[in-house]
Structure 1
Amino acid sequence: MRRQYKLSALLCSAVAVAAIPLAAGPAAAAEADNSCSLKHPVLGPIPVVGEVRASWNWAGPNSLTSLHLEAEDTKTDSAHPAVRLVTERRGGDIHYWSWHHNTKGSNTTDAWNTSASDTAGISRAWIQGGLFDGSNQLSTCTGTKKVNPD
């Protein structure tokens, strides 16, 4: 009986030691995605002329990795879609990142893979889409604000 107790204690200790690295290791990166539809302000009954999408991994309190941005042009017109990341810093300031323009023409999608880091922290992130005629911005759409889990 004493031997069975030792074996049980040894087995429980081994399981506990094996579980410690799993519990104490870094958390898996949380994923997020975002999208919104662009509408042309003067085309009337043709509501959607483009889509913008994004996905990323939260990589701590200050950065996003595997940031994938897309801008899809779904209508033959003189306008083109653009997408950008928007983040809210820990202090509440908003950071508007650079626009990425799809100027390839109708029925095309352009994509960009990048990352984002801000020493002031990133508490929330989302995307903004813009419909442009040349450099003139015609309309915008805004994705859902995603909260950083860190």
Structure 2
Amino acid sequence: MRTRGMTFAAGALTVPATAAPATATPAAAAAVKASCSGRGGSGSAAWTWAGKTELHSVSVRAKDNRADGMHPAIRLYWYNGKGKGKSTPWRHVRNGDNHWSTPVVRDRDKVKVAGIEMALFRGNASHPVRDLCGAGKKNPRY
């Protein structure tokens, strides 16, 4: 799907939620993990910085940790070189946990910071009941 200034490439690539320790190779040095948790859910994401404009091997995972009638959702967000915030659609956790992955997230206006945010939803509501948590990382290649 191509949207103004960004591209999402859907795929079945799976990256473990726990990232391996970084080694001395340039690719490993650019690999990151962000995670957060709160009352109602927890989530994590792993990706590799691929220069100033792309995230590669993106893997996102979220888990519902309360039987409270609400469910968490997670999304990947980033701020580009123009300071504009962008994000993927919410990925809802309906059966305990949810995994989502894509080989590439690209923004032609560069990616300065990327991370995850989570929120709690009730039923099929399009807006969250409340924010849950968030975590982000600066792009070391910016």
- The TM-score with structure 1 as length reference comes to 0.69
Name stretches of at least 5 consecutive residues in structure 1 with no aligned partner.
1-25, 39-47
- Greater relative CO (CA pairs within 8 A, separation 6+): 2
The number of aligned residues is 113
Q: Which amino acid aligns with 2:81?
A: R
Coordinate RMSD, CA, aligned? 1.6
Taking the aligned partners of 1:101 and 1:119, their CA distance within structure 2 comes to 27
Among 109, 112, 136, the alignment partner of 1:120 is 109
- Residue 20 (structure 2) aligns with: none
Taking the aligned partners of 2:26 and 2:44, their CA distance within structure 1 comes to 26
- Residue 96 (structure 1) aligns with: 87
Q: Which amino acid aligns with 1:55?
A: A
CA displacement 1:3-31 (0-9 Å, x = unmatched)? xxxxxxxxxxxxxxxxxxxxxxx932511
Identity %: 33
Among 81, 104, 122, the alignment partner of 1:133 is 122
Any conservation in 2 of the 1:126–1:142 contact (CA below 8 Å)?
no
Q: CA deviation at 1:149?
A: 1.3
- Residue 61 (structure 1) aligns with: 52
Q: CA deviation at 1:103?
A: 1.1
Taking the aligned partners of 1:120 and 1:52, their CA distance within structure 2 comes to 27
- Residue 26 (structure 2) aligns with: 27
CA displacement 1:48-89 (0-9 Å, x = unmatched)? 221111111111111111111111011112111110011010
Instruction: Please identify which structure carries the higher helix content.
Output: 1
Q: CA deviation at 1:120?
A: 1.0
Name stretches of at least 5 consecutive residues in structure 2 with no aligned partner.
1-24
1:84 counterpart = 2:84: no
Any conservation in 1 of the 2:80–2:113 contact (CA below 8 Å)?
yes
- The TM-score with structure 2 as length reference comes to 0.73
Any conservation in 1 of the 2:113–2:136 contact (CA below 8 Å)?
yes
- Residue 17 (structure 2) aligns with: none
- Residue 50 (structure 1) aligns with: 41
Instruction: Please identify which structure carries the higher strand content.
Output: 2
Taking the aligned partners of 1:141 and 1:64, their CA distance within structure 2 comes to 24
Determine which structure has more spread, i.e. the larger CA radius of gyration: 1
Taking the aligned partners of 2:46 and 2:128, their CA distance within structure 1 comes to 24
Any conservation in 2 of the 1:53–1:69 contact (CA below 8 Å)?
yes
Any conservation in 2 of the 1:31–1:58 contact (CA below 8 Å)?
yes
Q: CA deviation at 1:144?
A: 3.0
